[in-house]
Amino acid sequence: MNTATDNIVGILVVVAIFVLLALPSLVGLARDRHIDRQLRTAQQADGATRVRPAITAQDVTRAA
């Protein structure tokens, strides 16, 4: 193998490892956002007033 091919293979390995490490957190973030949307829709449909706003995953992310 030549140097260019070795470099490309190395880059692809690093990208693959990054994707494998980042994928679970991105899936969890998407799931949390979906649940937040469902809760917001249910609350608007119910017409109930909140005593105190709920803490969402986005609030925790902003505070960090």
pTM: 0.53
- Taking all residues of the chain, what is their mean pLDDT, rounded to a whole number? 86
Q: How far apart are the first and last CA of the chain?
A: 46
31-59: per-residue pLDDT in tens? 999 999 998 888 887 765 555 667 788 88
Mean pLDDT of 26-31: 94
pLDDT value, residue 54: 73
Q: 55 or 3, which is more confident?
A: 3
Measured over the CA atoms of residue 47, residue 53, residue 55 and residue 60, the dihedral's sign is: positive
Which long-range contacts does 26-29 make (Cβ < 8 Å, 24+ apart)? 29/57
- Residue 48 is predicted with a pLDDT of 57
Other Cβ atoms closer than 10 A to 33: 13
